[in-house]
Homo-oligomer: A and B are copies of this chain.
Amino acid sequence: MIQITLIQIDNYGPWTVTPGPRAEPDLQTLQSRLYGDLEREFGAHGGIVFFNRFDNLIAVSNGMDYDDHLLIQQSIRNRYPITISMGVGTAETAIEAQKIATKMIQNGGGAQSAERCEILNIDSLAEDEDSFVQIAHIDINDITTNLTDKKTAYDTSIKVYDVLLTLMKELSEIGAMCFFIGGDNYMAPSNNISKDQLRDALKRVDEKTGIRLKAGVGIAKKAGRAADLADIGLEDIRAGLTDDSVLIFNDLD
């Protein structure tokens, strides 16, 4: 079971324009700092947060309970001009778990409701014995020589976001989420997706975008460890230790 936490800034839209519009560099700083801080807080417990839309962040939070979430929620209130609500769900696939997490937040009220504040709704938590996180770390083959050092910075960006969107759509079809993590890197919480399914999905993205991808996959009880294993898989592919475009390391075998 994968455990997903959806983190949503309370009533953020209205706040950004009250009393008048707030300076954009300030908002960008606020959002990036919030993301960095949440990454530290979840990371200290073996979790990982993805910035997603910055005002709606998505974390893989296996191993974290109600008190862990509550401490984070209070810490944000004590250091930021905004508060956050959280919904938590667990399921066999990442897509299903985020669906439940979303429902948990929506049950608490609207994202732009002035009444909703610091909801913390947990549908269920992954127990240690069935805690299971699969994460794929996907990147583009030879982006530096083919794109970064040859094309303009912005043309490279368009290509990277094209691949992102195509990955998001393809992987959501088979139950995974996919997030951009900078450079030419993507991470996909992908419980219960087989090696064949993933290889085929990467191939479909290649056909649609003309970009060849590879993926290291890690399986562990917590997200941080799964990501570490995924990184090692990716390194081994880069080093030519396999001809396959997908390599899996499983901590739970």
Q: How many residues of A contact B (CB 8 A)?
A: 91
CB contact list, A143-169 vs B, under 8 A: 144-145, 148-149, 151-158, 160-162, 164-165, 168-169
Query: Are A144 and B112 in contact, CB atoms less than 8 angstroms apart?
Result: yes
Contact present for A165 and B158 (CB under 8 Å): yes
Contact residues of A: prevailing secondary structure:
helix
A6 within 8 A of B: yes
CB of A156, distance to nearest CB on chain B (Å): 7
Interface residues of A in 57-79 (CB under 8 A from B): 58, 71, 74-75, 77-79
- Of chain B, the residue at the smallest CB distance from A77 is B81
Contact with B along A34-48 (1 / 0, CB 8 A): 011101111111011
The reply to whether B53 and A160 form a contact with Cβ atoms under 8 Å apart is yes
Residues in chain B near residue A145, CB distance under 8 A: 110
Whether, in the assembled complex, A192 has its beta carbon less than 8 Å from a beta carbon of chain B, the answer is no
Q: Please report the C-alpha to C-alpha distance between residue A60 and residue B61 in the assembled complex, in whole angstroms.
A: 27
Known interface pairs A80-B81, A161-B161; A49-B28 also in contact (CB < 8 Å): yes
A98-106, A120-128, A200-208, A240-248 - interface stretch? A98-106
Q: What separation, in Å, do the CA atoms of A104 and B11 have in the docked complex?
A: 36
Q: Which of A20, A47, A148, A231 has the most CB of B within 10 A?
A: A148
Q: Is the CB of A25 within 8 A of B52?
A: no
Chain B contacts of A131 at CB under 8 A?
A: none
Chain B nearest CB from A8 CB (Å) reads: 8
| A binding-site residues for B, Cβ under 8 Å | 6, 8, 12-13, 17, 20-33, 35-37, 39-45, 47-49, 51-56, 58, 71, 74-75, 77-81, 95, 98-99, 101-102, 105-106, 110-112, 137, 144-145, 148-149, 151-158, 160-162, 164-165, 168-169, 172, 177, 181-184, 187, 224, 227-228, 231-232, 234-235
Given contacts A8-B153, A21-B232, A53-B157, 8 further A-B contacts (CB under 8 A): A24-B137, A24-B187, A25-B48, A27-B182, A32-B51, A54-B183, A101-B153, A164-B165
**Complex A-B: 19 CB contacts under 8 Å:** A13-B144, A23-B227, A23-B228, A24-B228, A26-B43, A26-B74, A27-B181, A28-B36, A32-B32, A40-B40, A43-B75, A53-B182, A54-B182, A56-B148, A56-B157, A77-B81, A99-B154, A102-B153, A161-B161
